[in-house]
Amino acid sequence: MKKGSSIIIAFVLLTVVGALYRIVPGRPFGFAPQYAMALFGGFLFQNDKKWAFILPIGSMFLSDLLFQGLFKLNMTSTPGFYSGQLVNYILFAILAVFGFIIKKMDFRNIIMASVLSTTFYFLVSNMYVWISTDFYSKNWGGLMQSYTLGLPFYRNSIIATLVFSAILFGGYALIGKSFTKSQRVTA
């Protein structure tokens, strides 16, 4: 099998596994691989950036389709499609940009990108909910309430991003040693 083919197969498997993991019942809210996938995609596909965006958004879209099907069958209370979803997809695309800043794959850079990307997503998405819904009063207290209620999601997201980044980047470091640097950035 050609190395390019194995990268594409790994890419598709990662997208599907990430989507399936996201719909696992009972997993902690916010504990999913998509942030780490965005970082990893940004790192891996620096010269062909479209793939960096397709990886997390494809996984999100696939899991949203699955959620919507389960919702329609009354098997979950979580709909797959909802108002504000476009903003969510845009934020996930931006997370891939954090992966672009990882020029050297080392422990410190991956932790920094994981924490910064998760914090960015938390701050912007909660502010968007505060601005666009009637859940919170439109003052400083309402914004702080939005952030406070989002803290459990934020905590789980940071932990998940660190765990899944360790798996993705660590797996790449172990398995990807057979690929040259030029192969790293082409699909």
* pLDDT at position 116 over 60: yes
Predicted confidence at residue 9, as pLDDT, reads: 75
Predicted confidence at residue 182, as pLDDT, reads: 45
Cβ-contact 113, 38 below 8 angstroms: no
Name the residue with higher pLDDT: 19 or 117: 117
Q: Which of 46-50, 159-163, 171-175 has the highest mean pLDDT?
A: 159-163
Cα–Cα distance between 38 and 30 in angstroms, integer?
15
The 10s digit of each residue's pLDDT in 120-148 is 999 999 999 999 999 999 999 999 999 99
Predicted confidence at residue 35, as pLDDT, reads: 92
Structural domains for the chain: 3-184 (1.10.1760)
The 10s digit of each residue's pLDDT in 4-26 is 566 667 777 777 787 777 778 88
Model confidence at 162, pLDDT cuts 50, 70, 90, reads: very high
Predicted confidence at residue 135, as pLDDT, reads: 93
* pLDDT at position 181 over 80: no
Q: How deeply is 151 buried, as exposed, middle or buried, from its count of CB atoms within 10 A (0-12, 13-18, 19+)? A: exposed
The 10s digit of each residue's pLDDT in 61-114 is 888 898 899 899 998 888 889 888 899 999 989 999 999 988 888 899 999 999
Mean per-residue pLDDT, 20-45: 86
* pLDDT at position 52 over 70: yes
Cα–Cα distance between 94 and 39 in angstroms, integer?
10
Instruction: For 138, list phi and psi in degrees, rounded to 5.
Output: -90, 60
